[in-house]
Amino acid sequence: MNPLEKLGAKAVGLLRSMGDMFIFLITALFYIFVPPFKFRVLLKQIRFFGNKSLVVIVLTGAFTGMVLGLQVFYTLRKFGSEALLGPAVALSLVRELGPVLSALMVTGRAGSALTAEIGIMKITEQIDAILAMALNPIRYLIVPNIVAAIVVFPLLGAVFNLVGIYSGYIVGVKILGLSKGTYFSQIENFLGMEDIKIGFIKSVFFGLIVSWVCCWKGYTAEYGAEGVSKATTQAVVLSSVLILVSDYIIGTFYL
Protein backbone atom coordinates (compact mmCIF):
# COMPACT_ATOMS: atom_id res chain seq x y z
CA MET A 1 0.00 0.00 0.00
CA ASN A 2 1.54 3.36 -1.02
CA PRO A 3 1.36 6.37 1.35
CA LEU A 4 -1.56 7.90 -0.54
CA GLU A 5 -3.57 4.67 -0.28
CA LYS A 6 -2.70 4.46 3.42
CA LEU A 7 -3.94 8.01 3.95
CA GLY A 8 -7.10 7.22 2.01
CA ALA A 9 -7.72 4.04 4.02
CA LYS A 10 -7.25 6.00 7.24
CA ALA A 11 -9.66 8.70 6.11
CA VAL A 12 -12.27 6.11 5.09
CA GLY A 13 -11.81 4.33 8.45
CA LEU A 14 -12.27 7.61 10.31
CA LEU A 15 -15.37 8.51 8.31
CA ARG A 16 -16.86 5.05 8.89
CA SER A 17 -16.16 5.28 12.61
CA MET A 18 -17.79 8.73 12.76
CA GLY A 19 -20.78 7.37 10.85
CA ASP A 20 -21.11 4.42 13.25
CA MET A 21 -20.87 6.78 16.21
CA PHE A 22 -23.61 8.98 14.77
CA ILE A 23 -25.89 6.00 14.05
CA PHE A 24 -25.28 4.84 17.64
CA LEU A 25 -26.52 8.22 18.92
CA ILE A 26 -29.56 8.28 16.62
CA THR A 27 -30.50 4.74 17.70
CA ALA A 28 -30.15 5.66 21.38
CA LEU A 29 -32.20 8.86 20.93
CA PHE A 30 -34.90 6.83 19.16
CA TYR A 31 -35.13 4.33 22.03
CA ILE A 32 -35.55 7.15 24.57
CA PHE A 33 -39.12 7.50 23.32
CA VAL A 34 -39.91 3.80 22.91
CA PRO A 35 -41.54 2.03 25.88
CA PRO A 36 -40.99 0.15 28.15
CA PHE A 37 -39.06 2.85 30.02
CA LYS A 38 -36.38 1.71 32.44
CA PHE A 39 -37.14 4.04 35.38
CA ARG A 40 -35.27 1.99 37.97
CA VAL A 41 -32.10 1.90 35.88
CA LEU A 42 -32.56 5.61 35.08
CA LEU A 43 -32.73 6.54 38.78
CA LYS A 44 -29.64 4.44 39.45
CA GLN A 45 -27.75 6.25 36.68
CA ILE A 46 -28.97 9.68 37.88
CA ARG A 47 -27.46 8.79 41.23
CA PHE A 48 -24.30 7.59 39.50
CA PHE A 49 -23.83 10.86 37.60
CA GLY A 50 -25.27 13.24 40.15
CA ASN A 51 -24.84 12.19 43.72
CA LYS A 52 -21.34 10.86 43.30
CA SER A 53 -20.15 13.97 41.44
CA LEU A 54 -21.65 16.42 43.93
CA VAL A 55 -18.64 16.74 46.23
CA VAL A 56 -16.24 17.46 43.40
CA ILE A 57 -18.70 19.97 41.88
CA VAL A 58 -19.11 21.84 45.19
CA LEU A 59 -15.36 21.89 45.70
CA THR A 60 -14.47 23.15 42.23
CA GLY A 61 -17.42 25.57 42.23
CA ALA A 62 -16.26 27.07 45.52
CA PHE A 63 -12.69 27.64 44.42
CA THR A 64 -13.66 28.90 40.97
CA GLY A 65 -15.98 31.46 42.61
CA MET A 66 -13.29 32.50 45.07
CA VAL A 67 -10.64 32.93 42.36
CA LEU A 68 -13.11 34.89 40.25
CA GLY A 69 -14.04 37.09 43.22
CA LEU A 70 -10.40 37.83 43.90
CA GLN A 71 -9.15 38.44 40.36
CA VAL A 72 -12.21 40.31 39.06
CA PHE A 73 -12.21 42.56 42.16
CA TYR A 74 -8.62 43.68 41.49
CA THR A 75 -9.35 44.20 37.79
CA LEU A 76 -12.53 46.20 38.47
CA ARG A 77 -10.78 48.32 41.13
CA LYS A 78 -8.44 49.66 38.45
CA PHE A 79 -11.51 51.17 36.76
CA GLY A 80 -13.23 52.10 40.01
CA SER A 81 -16.04 49.65 39.28
CA GLU A 82 -15.79 47.25 42.24
CA ALA A 83 -19.56 47.47 42.62
CA LEU A 84 -19.91 45.31 39.51
CA LEU A 85 -18.11 42.38 41.12
CA GLY A 86 -21.36 40.47 41.72
CA PRO A 87 -22.59 40.56 38.12
CA ALA A 88 -19.10 39.88 36.74
CA VAL A 89 -18.77 36.74 38.86
CA ALA A 90 -22.36 35.63 38.27
CA LEU A 91 -22.34 36.21 34.50
CA SER A 92 -19.00 34.44 34.05
CA LEU A 93 -20.27 31.47 36.03
CA VAL A 94 -23.80 31.20 34.72
CA ARG A 95 -23.05 31.74 31.02
CA GLU A 96 -19.68 30.04 30.76
CA LEU A 97 -17.69 28.61 33.62
CA GLY A 98 -20.50 26.81 35.45
CA PRO A 99 -21.66 24.62 32.54
CA VAL A 100 -18.15 24.07 31.12
CA LEU A 101 -16.24 23.35 34.33
CA SER A 102 -18.98 21.20 35.85
CA ALA A 103 -19.17 19.19 32.60
CA LEU A 104 -15.40 18.75 32.55
CA MET A 105 -15.40 17.60 36.19
CA VAL A 106 -18.25 15.12 35.63
CA THR A 107 -16.45 13.81 32.55
CA GLY A 108 -13.38 13.07 34.66
CA ARG A 109 -15.38 11.70 37.56
CA ALA A 110 -18.32 9.80 36.05
CA GLY A 111 -17.65 9.74 32.28
CA SER A 112 -14.42 7.80 32.65
CA ALA A 113 -16.08 5.35 35.07
CA LEU A 114 -18.95 4.90 32.61
CA THR A 115 -16.60 4.09 29.72
CA ALA A 116 -14.63 1.65 31.88
CA GLU A 117 -17.82 -0.06 33.10
CA ILE A 118 -19.30 -0.50 29.61
CA GLY A 119 -15.87 -1.47 28.24
CA ILE A 120 -15.50 -4.20 30.86
CA MET A 121 -19.03 -5.40 30.07
CA LYS A 122 -17.97 -5.59 26.42
CA ILE A 123 -14.77 -7.58 27.00
CA THR A 124 -16.39 -9.94 29.50
CA GLU A 125 -19.14 -10.70 26.96
CA GLN A 126 -21.91 -9.18 29.11
CA ILE A 127 -23.07 -7.13 26.11
CA ASP A 128 -23.06 -10.28 23.97
CA ALA A 129 -25.10 -11.95 26.73
CA ILE A 130 -27.77 -9.22 26.44
CA LEU A 131 -27.86 -9.70 22.66
CA ALA A 132 -28.04 -13.49 23.08
CA MET A 133 -31.10 -13.00 25.31
CA ALA A 134 -32.81 -11.36 22.32
CA LEU A 135 -32.62 -7.97 24.03
CA ASN A 136 -31.20 -4.66 22.84
CA PRO A 137 -28.08 -3.50 24.76
CA ILE A 138 -28.51 0.09 23.57
CA ARG A 139 -31.90 0.25 25.26
CA TYR A 140 -30.67 -1.34 28.50
CA LEU A 141 -27.22 0.20 28.82
CA ILE A 142 -26.98 3.36 26.79
CA VAL A 143 -30.40 5.05 26.89
CA PRO A 144 -30.58 5.34 30.72
CA ASN A 145 -27.10 6.92 30.77
CA ILE A 146 -27.92 9.49 28.10
CA VAL A 147 -31.20 10.50 29.79
CA ALA A 148 -29.53 10.59 33.22
CA ALA A 149 -26.73 12.84 31.93
CA ILE A 150 -29.20 15.20 30.23
CA VAL A 151 -31.11 15.51 33.54
CA VAL A 152 -28.10 15.73 35.84
CA PHE A 153 -25.70 18.05 33.98
CA PRO A 154 -27.93 21.17 34.24
CA LEU A 155 -28.57 20.43 37.94
CA LEU A 156 -24.87 20.06 38.67
CA GLY A 157 -24.20 23.20 36.63
CA ALA A 158 -26.75 25.05 38.79
CA VAL A 159 -25.10 23.81 41.99
CA PHE A 160 -21.72 24.90 40.62
CA ASN A 161 -23.09 28.38 39.86
CA LEU A 162 -24.73 28.77 43.24
CA VAL A 163 -21.66 27.68 45.18
CA GLY A 164 -19.44 29.82 42.91
CA ILE A 165 -21.55 32.96 43.36
CA TYR A 166 -21.56 32.55 47.17
CA SER A 167 -17.83 31.88 47.20
CA GLY A 168 -17.30 35.07 45.17
CA TYR A 169 -19.47 36.82 47.76
CA ILE A 170 -17.31 35.53 50.64
CA VAL A 171 -14.13 36.80 48.96
CA GLY A 172 -15.62 40.10 47.70
CA VAL A 173 -17.75 41.05 50.70
CA LYS A 174 -16.30 39.26 53.73
CA ILE A 175 -12.62 39.48 52.83
CA LEU A 176 -12.23 42.44 50.45
CA GLY A 177 -14.88 44.62 52.10
CA LEU A 178 -17.46 45.17 49.33
CA SER A 179 -20.99 45.90 50.53
CA LYS A 180 -23.31 42.89 50.71
CA GLY A 181 -26.24 44.77 49.23
CA THR A 182 -24.20 45.97 46.26
CA TYR A 183 -22.99 42.46 45.43
CA PHE A 184 -26.44 40.89 45.26
CA SER A 185 -28.49 43.83 43.96
CA GLN A 186 -26.13 44.30 41.03
CA ILE A 187 -26.45 40.60 40.21
CA GLU A 188 -30.22 41.08 40.15
CA ASN A 189 -29.82 44.04 37.79
CA PHE A 190 -27.48 42.39 35.31
CA LEU A 191 -28.27 38.69 35.36
CA GLY A 192 -31.29 37.89 33.18
CA MET A 193 -33.29 34.81 32.29
CA GLU A 194 -31.53 34.78 28.90
CA ASP A 195 -28.16 34.19 30.62
CA ILE A 196 -29.58 31.34 32.69
CA LYS A 197 -31.16 29.86 29.57
CA ILE A 198 -27.81 29.85 27.72
CA GLY A 199 -26.13 28.08 30.64
CA PHE A 200 -28.96 25.57 30.79
CA ILE A 201 -28.82 24.81 27.05
CA LYS A 202 -25.07 24.35 27.25
CA SER A 203 -25.38 21.93 30.17
CA VAL A 204 -28.02 19.84 28.42
CA PHE A 205 -25.85 19.69 25.31
CA PHE A 206 -22.73 18.79 27.30
CA GLY A 207 -24.65 16.02 29.08
CA LEU A 208 -25.62 14.58 25.71
CA ILE A 209 -22.06 14.83 24.36
CA VAL A 210 -20.37 13.30 27.41
CA SER A 211 -22.79 10.39 27.77
CA TRP A 212 -22.74 9.71 24.01
CA VAL A 213 -18.95 9.76 23.69
CA CYS A 214 -18.30 7.81 26.90
CA CYS A 215 -20.91 5.14 26.10
CA TRP A 216 -19.67 4.80 22.52
CA LYS A 217 -16.03 4.46 23.55
CA GLY A 218 -16.93 1.79 26.13
CA TYR A 219 -19.24 0.00 23.69
CA THR A 220 -16.49 -0.23 21.08
CA ALA A 221 -13.60 -0.89 23.49
CA GLU A 222 -11.02 -3.35 22.23
CA TYR A 223 -10.26 -6.53 24.10
CA GLY A 224 -8.00 -6.69 27.14
CA ALA A 225 -7.18 -4.28 29.95
CA GLU A 226 -5.25 -2.11 27.49
CA GLY A 227 -8.32 -1.81 25.26
CA VAL A 228 -10.48 -0.53 28.13
CA SER A 229 -7.79 1.83 29.38
CA LYS A 230 -7.34 3.24 25.86
CA ALA A 231 -11.10 3.65 25.45
CA THR A 232 -11.35 5.47 28.81
CA THR A 233 -8.57 7.90 27.94
CA GLN A 234 -10.04 8.57 24.49
CA ALA A 235 -13.50 9.11 25.99
CA VAL A 236 -12.27 11.74 28.46
CA VAL A 237 -10.10 13.55 25.89
CA LEU A 238 -12.75 13.54 23.14
CA SER A 239 -15.54 14.58 25.54
CA SER A 240 -13.44 17.44 26.93
CA VAL A 241 -12.48 18.70 23.47
CA LEU A 242 -16.08 18.48 22.25
CA ILE A 243 -17.30 20.34 25.36
CA LEU A 244 -14.94 23.25 24.64
CA VAL A 245 -15.63 23.31 20.89
CA SER A 246 -19.41 23.15 21.31
CA ASP A 247 -19.22 25.74 24.11
CA TYR A 248 -17.75 28.20 21.63
CA ILE A 249 -20.25 27.28 18.91
CA ILE A 250 -23.28 27.63 21.21
CA GLY A 251 -21.77 30.84 22.61
CA THR A 252 -21.64 32.43 19.14
CA PHE A 253 -25.36 31.75 18.64
CA TYR A 254 -26.33 33.49 21.89
CA LEU A 255 -24.08 36.55 21.93
Partner 1 sequence: MIEIIELKKRLNGQLVLKGVNLRIEDRELVAIIGRSGTGKSVLIKHLIGLFKPDSGSIIIDGMDIVRFSTRQLCKIRERFGVVFQGGALFDSMSIYDNIAFPLRERLRLSEKEIEDRVSRALDDVGLLGHEHKFPAELSGGMKKRAALARALVTEPSIVLFDEPTTGLDPITLNAIFRLIKKTHRKYNFTGIIVSHDIPEIFYIVDKVAMLEDGKIVEYGTAEQIQHSSHPVVRQFITGATEGPIEATAL
Single out the residue of 14, 17, 22, 125 in contact with partner 1 (rule: CB under 8 A).
125
The DSSP code for 35 is: S
Residues touching partner 1: how many (CB under 8 A)?
14
For the chain, what's the residue count? 255
Rule CB under 8 A: is residue 18 a binding residue for partner 1? no
Assess 131 for contact with partner 1 (CB under 8 A): yes
Q: List the one residue from 1, 134, 193, 255 that touches partner 1 (CB under 8 A).
A: 134
DSSP assignment of 139-179: IIIIHHHHHHHHHHHHHHHHHHHHHHHHHHHIIIIIIT---
**Distance between CA atoms of 199 and 196, rounded to whole angstroms?**
5
- Binding segment for partner 1 (CB under 8 A), chosen from 134-142, 156-164, 180-188, 191-199, is 134-142
Q: Which amino acid is at 19?
A: G
Is the CB of 40 or the CB of 78 nearer to partner 1? 40
Which of the stretches 75-83, 118-126, 195-203, 242-250 binds partner 1 when contact is defined by CB under 8 A? 118-126
Report in angstroms how near the CB of residue 128 gets to partner 1 at its nearest: 6
Q: What whole-number distance in Å separates Cα of residue 73 and Cα of residue 182? A: 13
Using rule CB under 8 A, residue 135 touches partner 1: yes
Task: Check residue 200 for interaction with partner 1 (CB under 8 A).
Answer: no
27 binds partner 1 (CB under 8 A): no
Are the C-beta atoms of residues 108 and 53 closer than 8 Å to each other? no
Using the minimum distance from each CB to partner 1, give the nearer residue, 136 or 246. Answer: 136
Rounded to the nearest 5°, which phi and psi values hold at 81? -120, 35
| Binding flag, residue 193, partner 1 (CB under 8 A) | no
Per DSSP, helices labelled H in the chain are 3-32, 39-49, 54-78, 85-91, 98-106, 112-123, 126-132, 137, 143-169, 180-190, 193-219, 225-253
Interface with partner 1 includes 140 (CB under 8 A)?
A: yes
Q: Binding to partner 1 by residue 179, rule CB under 8 A? A: no
**For 124, which DSSP code?**
T
Q: Is residue 1 within the footprint of partner 1 (CB under 8 A)?
A: no
Does 9 engage in binding with partner 1 (CB under 8 A)? no
Applying CB under 8 A, does 226 fall inside the site for partner 1? no
* Positions that interact with partner 1 (CB under 8 A): 120-121, 124-126, 128-129, 131-136, 140
